[in-house]
Amino acid sequence: MKLTGFSFFFCCSVQLFSSVMRPASGKPVQSAPPGRVSAAAGTDVILPCGLTSSYSSSGVRAVEWFRVDGPSPVTVHVVRDGEELVREKAAEYHHRRTAILEDGSLKLFGVQQRDNGTYRCGLLRGSTVENVFVSLLVAQVSEVFFSVRRSSANQLLVQCESSGWNPEPLVSLLDSSRNVLAARVESSVGPDLLYSVRVLVTTATAAKATGTGNGTLICRVEIPGTSLANENKIHITDEFHPPEEGPGCYLVLLVAFLLVFVATAVVVFVVPLGMIKKLRSSLQRLTGRLCWEFYYGLIRRETEGQQEGEFVFSCIYSIRVTLTVSLVSCRLGVHPALIAAIISRQSQAGTSLRPDGYGKSDHTCFGLMQINKHYHAVKGNAFSVDHVDQGVTYFIQLIKTMQRTKPDWTKEQQLKGALACYISGEERVTPLSYDEVDSVTPYGDFANDVVARAQWFSHNGF
């Protein structure tokens, strides 16, 4: 389920979560005080030498850059009388890693943390040498991800996390006015000496600080004392209040035990495929009667779309996915046929996944609902309730986004708009008219096709 904005990018480069923004690039903004420069690993950086004009017009005969934080100076780049003295350069600065600019500044290409240290620029005027010292900090930075889930007490939990930082970063959660919110912050360091940070807040806590349960949250991760920072943004709408949970979802677990037992019998005894299909259909009808009213995903039969194949892929997987879909449907009040349709389109109900749970055609997309790991912290295993819950919770937020941004659309139109956002991102979809929403989706038919599949599933007992 890619982000200026918190975009839960699901499979095929989709943004997951309502109103997500693409993370900041992490490239340094040269606003550090003179003598100190910071840069993200892998980027290019300029170390200033202090000249205000071209060194050739300033009477400078030579520009010499050395690294001086070790036991003896290391030659980085030397230019004398307009020519570079390559033989004097240390081996680690060969292969076009350095360049001298017109003002004498040193440009380092593709810096890494091993380049951390103090550098000296020497300017030779006649017999006089002027020295300028520059301290370089190279940091490991990473992207920032949001995830959203509901607790057993029906609280919406918003979590921001990021891994792969060095030195240790600061993480904070801000409201739309960039006021820092009170939140639980965690930090840890791995064997590779890279730091991971996480911040968790409930919408109830955010509401106390902002006066509303809805709005924009910003997660910022930064290296203290530098301009190196990444941010991500999410728009939260928490208006989901399902009825009191009855015994339905718990009864589903009892039915699940029977289905798993029968599925195991497929291996030991030869159980006809038709029987498995009937058992699956019975579970679907039973959960439909036991669960709450469906608050999201009302589908009209006249909605256009290309109805495609059946949701049957393998006996055991069919039972497993049916159970997962039914439980999440009960918990979140989303029509199970709609959840099944998204899964069918995204991962062919799991048959297009590799053994590690990632897509065979897109190795960055994970699980039944194909959540892109580059933009979201994936949860659970590929077939788990946690994974499907994560995707469906995000999808509810997208429906709320369409209700907020397209109040004059019908519920069915808002539903299709949310489906288009799921695969292509909110920023690309919300400026469009209803007739254009599928124009930015893969093959130009994602929303229509998912609705058609949902109609098929609903008609066949899901």
* CATH code assigned to 42-139: 2.60.40.10
Q: pLDDT category, 292, cuts 50, 70, 90?
A: very low
Q: Where do we find the tokens 């970063």?
A: 169
Q: Give the model's pLDDT for residue 170.
A: 94
Same fold, 42-139 and 248-459: no
- Contact yes or no for 446/345 (Cβ under 8 A): yes
Residue 203 DSSP label: H
Angle 203-205-207 from CA coordinates, rounded to 5°: 65
CB-based contacts of 36-39 (< 8 A; 24+ apart in sequence): 36/134, 36/135, 36/137, 37/134, 37/135, 37/136, 37/137, 38/136, 38/137, 38/138, 38/139, 38/223, 38/225, 38/226, 38/227, 38/228, 39/111, 39/136, 39/137, 39/138, 39/139, 39/228
Condensed to tens digits (0 to 9), the pLDDT of residues 127-170 reads 788 899 999 999 999 988 887 766 656 667 788 889 999 999 99
Region 3-24 average pLDDT:
34
SS (H, E, C) 92-156: HHCCCCEEECCCCCEEECCCCHHHCEEEEEEEEECCEEEEEEEEEEEEECCCCEEEEEECCCCCE
The mean pLDDT of the chain is 76
| Phi, then psi, of 405 in degrees rounded to 5 | -90, -20
Question: What pLDDT does 283 receive?
Answer: 55
- How confident is the model at residue 148, as a pLDDT? 74
Is the model's pLDDT at 352 over the cut of 60? yes
CATH 3.30.930.10 fits 145-236, yes or no: no
- Average pLDDT value for residue range 437-462: 86
Q: In which element (H, E) is residue 256 found?
A: helix 248-268
**Residue-wise pLDDT tens digits, 76-122:** 999 998 899 998 899 999 988 999 998 899 999 999 999 999 999 99
- Provide the CATH topology of domain 248-459: Lysozyme (1.10.530)
Each domain of the chain, given as residue ranges in start order, spans: 42-139, 145-236, 248-459
Residue 339: pLDDT above 60? Answer: yes
Position 370 pLDDT exceeds 80: yes
